[in-house]
Every structure is written in structure tokens, then in C-alpha cells.
Amino acid sequence: AQKVTQAQTEISVVEKEDVTLDCVYETRDTTYYLFWYKQPPSGELVFLIRRNSFDEQNEISGRYSWNFQKSTSSFNFTITASQVVDSAVYFCALSGPSYNTDKLIFGTGTRLQVFP
Amino acid sequence: EPEVTQTPSHQVTQMGQEVILRCVPISNHLYFYWYRQILGQKVEFLVSFYNNEISEKSEIFDDQFSVERPDGSNFTLKIRSTKLEDSAMYFCASTRDRGINIQYFGAGTRLSVL
């Protein structure tokens, strides 16, 4: 069965601190996809990144970076120099091979609070 | 930038009543989804829909639930006889390419069953 674990329920940091959100996944598939979504206080789910299981290259987008390690089944998300606007709940998600399923399986989310 | 639109933003209903939640997916998208998030919990998949058929559904999506694409733009979720435990945020999502599967979500409809 597929599963996503986000062990950190809540993280609080002060602006300009770096913060890493952990995500560990379980799947028996060799082809799968990993995602991060942001849910700001307004409630919508905002897509941040998608990774497929064959691409272990780390990715950087501005202050955001993602570290994908198949050996540890982890897909961690780092925010550098955090800002108050980064305050949100962040969800990691997994989907299986598209020939089989395209549903997203979400973790329980990590609430990030960035204080000024 | 195109977006998924959901109405209403908040729906209050009495237990046992029928509700219809509405969604307008992004216009060139072909695959549609409903998810649910009970307050403070994770987002859970309900159903996926393509070519006017349900592609996949979860255990949550029982006979009380149905989906429909009544015209070329709307995608609806109907709950026939609401229960207290149906109170949740309901998200609609869509994607253009199932292979890439980047699902874009609406802002959600908060359903409160009293």
C-alpha cells in the first residue's frame, strides 16, 4: 500500500531562518510521482513541485529546494531565508504509475509558522 | 492564469439533505477529481472522472455520492443524504495530462452539516 508520512506536525521559525520539511513515502511501485503542495491560511491547495521516481536530481526554485533520495524514500523540502508569507500547511503527496492510478495520496501535512 | 473555480465557498445544510458542490475545472483539462479534507486532517481522494465516467473511486465514495459533468464546463459532486461526518472541505482538481498528473486545485467548498 502507498503511504506518505510527514512526522513534523508543526514547525515554528523566525524570519530568515532556513527550515526543512520532511517527507517519507512508501510504495511498491518502481514508477511513481512525488509532489509538494502548499495550503495557505486562505485554504486553497497550491502546487509547488512534481518529481518522478527516475529523476533524483535535486531542484532549486528561488528560496525553495527539494532533496529526493530513493535510498531513504524521502522527498524533503527546504525553505531558505523563510518569510512570514511562507506560513502555511505544506503537504507531501504520492501518486502511482499513471497507467494504474492518478489519485494523490497525501501526508498529514506540516504546519509552518514563520514569525517576524 | 487559469484556475479551478468552486462554488459555493461555504455550504451549510441540515443532516439528511442533498447538496451539490460545483466546480469549473480549467478549460482545456480532461481529468477531474474530488478530494475531501476533514478539519485538521489530511486531504483524501474521493473520485476521479474522465470521459464522462468515473475512473477510480475510494472507499469513502459510497452510494451517497455521485459526480456529473452536466455540460462542457461544470463538474459537480452530489451528496444525496448528508451526514454529520460529511462535514469537511471539499476540493475539486483537474489536470490536462494524466501522465504528468499535476493536479490544480480549487479553493474548496466548506460543507457544514448540522
Burial class (CB in 10 A: 0-12, 13-18, 19+), B74: middle
Q: pLDDT digit string (tens) for A16-43?
A: 999 999 999 999 988 999 999 999 998 8
Counting one residue from chain A and one from chain B, the pairs whose CB atoms sit within 8 A come to 58
Rounded to an integer, what distance in angstroms lies between the CA atom of residue B29 and that of residue B24? 10
- The distance in angstroms from the start CA to the end CA of chain A is 41
For chain B, the average pLDDT equals: 94
State the CATH number of the domain containing residue A83.
Answer: 2.60.40.10
For chain A, the average pLDDT equals: 93
Q: Which residues contact B1 (CB under 8 A, 6 or more apart)?
A: none
DSSP per-residue letters across A83-108: -GGG-EEEEEEEE--TTT----EE--
State whether A37 and B48 contact (CB < 8 Å).
no
Q: Which residues contact A54 (CB under 8 A, 6 or more apart)?
A: A31
Q: Tell me B103's DSSP state.
A: P
pLDDT exceeds 80 at position A97 = no
Quote the number of domains for chain A: 1
Class assignment of domain B5-113?
Answer: mainly beta
Query: What are the chain B neighbours of A45 within 8 Å (beta carbons)?
Result: 43, 91, 93, 105, 108
DSSP H helices in A7-79: none
pLDDT of residue A70: 93
Query: Which residue from B42, B56, B110 is facing A103, i.e. has the nearest CB?
Result: B56
Cell matching residue A7: 512526522
Between B20 and A97, residue with greater pLDDT: B20
Number of residues written out for chain A: 116
Q: How close B33 gets to chain A, by Cα (Å)? A: 8
pLDDT of residue B101: 82
Write down the residue that cell numbers 470521459 correspond to.
B51
User: Considering chain A, what percentage of its residues have pLDDT values greater than 90?
Assistant: 78
DSSP H helices in chain B: none
Query: What are the chain B neighbours of A55 within 8 Å (beta carbons)?
Result: none
Residue in B58, B38, B37 with CA at minimum distance from that of residue B48: B58
List residues bridging with B35 in a β-sheet.
B45, B91
Domain encompassing residue A70: 3-115
Residues 12-41 of chain B with CB under 8 A from chain A are: 31, 33, 35, 41
Rounded to an integer, what distance in angstroms lies between the CA atom of residue B47 and that of residue A37? 19
DSSP H helices in A15-109: none
Rounded to an integer, what distance in angstroms lies between the CA atom of residue A105 and that of residue B9? 24
Write down the residue that cell numbers 518502481 correspond to.
A30
pLDDT of residue A67: 95
pLDDT exceeds 90 at position A100 = no
Q: Are the beta carbons of B65 and B47 closer than 8 angstroms? A: yes
Cell matching residue B111: 460543507
State whether B31 and A102 contact (CB < 8 Å).
yes
Query: Which residue from A33, A42, A106 is facing B43, i.e. has the nearest CB?
Result: A106
